[in-house]
Amino acid sequence: MNILDLFRLDGRFAVVTGAAKGLGLAMSEALLSAGANLAIIDIDADAARETAKHLSSQYGRTVHSYAADLSDETEVRNISNQLIDDVGRIDILFNNAGITYHAPAESADINTWKRVVDVNLNAVYLLSREIGRHMLESGGGAIVNTASMSGLIANVPQPQSAYNSAKAGVIMLTKSLAVEWADRGIRVNAIAPGYMKTEMTHQLFAEGGPMIDRWMSMTPMKRPGEPQELGGIAVYLASDASSFVTGAVFNIDGGYTAV
């Protein structure tokens, strides 16, 4: 057997959230490259539609796009039902959508705190529950959650207790679902990226300054990650190459959490 065959995703259907740009887009491209069929979900309907059109043209396969606020239970249930009606079977789910928020803990706005937790943690649970139920009925699947090294350490110098707490919750949710579903055919894992250069942070890194200098001084590789550097782990966790892997958290952080 050719070991590389284990990484192929031909004939499998993947759903990636927050995939109109950034990390979600990079992981979507990796899954398509490995042969998967794809649907993307984003809160921005126009961006999702344009990204799907671009990916379809690039990879020669239909890419479905959907828009939803994944922190809303009714919208999650509706979009999950629509997906299953449209594509029949979902084999891979990447819960990637997320937002961040910087504010001192003593003055953070509670409504913004709740929104960060809703998008970064509750949405992961809601979609995992709905798609997980489908996977249990159809024979299994793979779920991958985008956590963060911020779920393992408290970042400095930026104050982001809401984000850190939500991402720590994603890590424990990953382990909990993995244990519940391990003998029922669903593997659940998480990735924990470090500081990544995306559309959202590109200008920040380009301008530099004390905060960027501190981040990079604490990162042994002395640079931020590029979105495409998540492609390998995305394909690995979605594929049979990781068939005995569940409940794991993979740090992709240039060595930040190893120090």
Q: Give the domain CATH number at 71.
A: 3.40.50.720
Closest by alpha carbon to 39, among 237, 129, 48, 97? 48
Contact present, 136 and 185 (Cβ < 8 Å): yes
pTM: 0.96
In the chain, how many domains are there?
1
Q: Which residues contact 165 (CB under 8 A, 6 or more apart)?
A: 117
- The tokens of 75 are what? 């919208």
At residue 136 the predicted structure's pLDDT band, cuts being 50, 70 and 90, is very high
- pLDDT tens-digit profile of 66-101? 999 999 999 999 999 999 999 999 999 999 999 999
Q: What is the mean pLDDT of residues 170-183?
A: 98
Q: How far apart are CA 86 and CA 80, in angstroms?
A: 10
Provide the domain limits for residue 37: 3-258
Contact present, 18 and 98 (Cβ < 8 Å): yes
Residues marked active site are found at 163
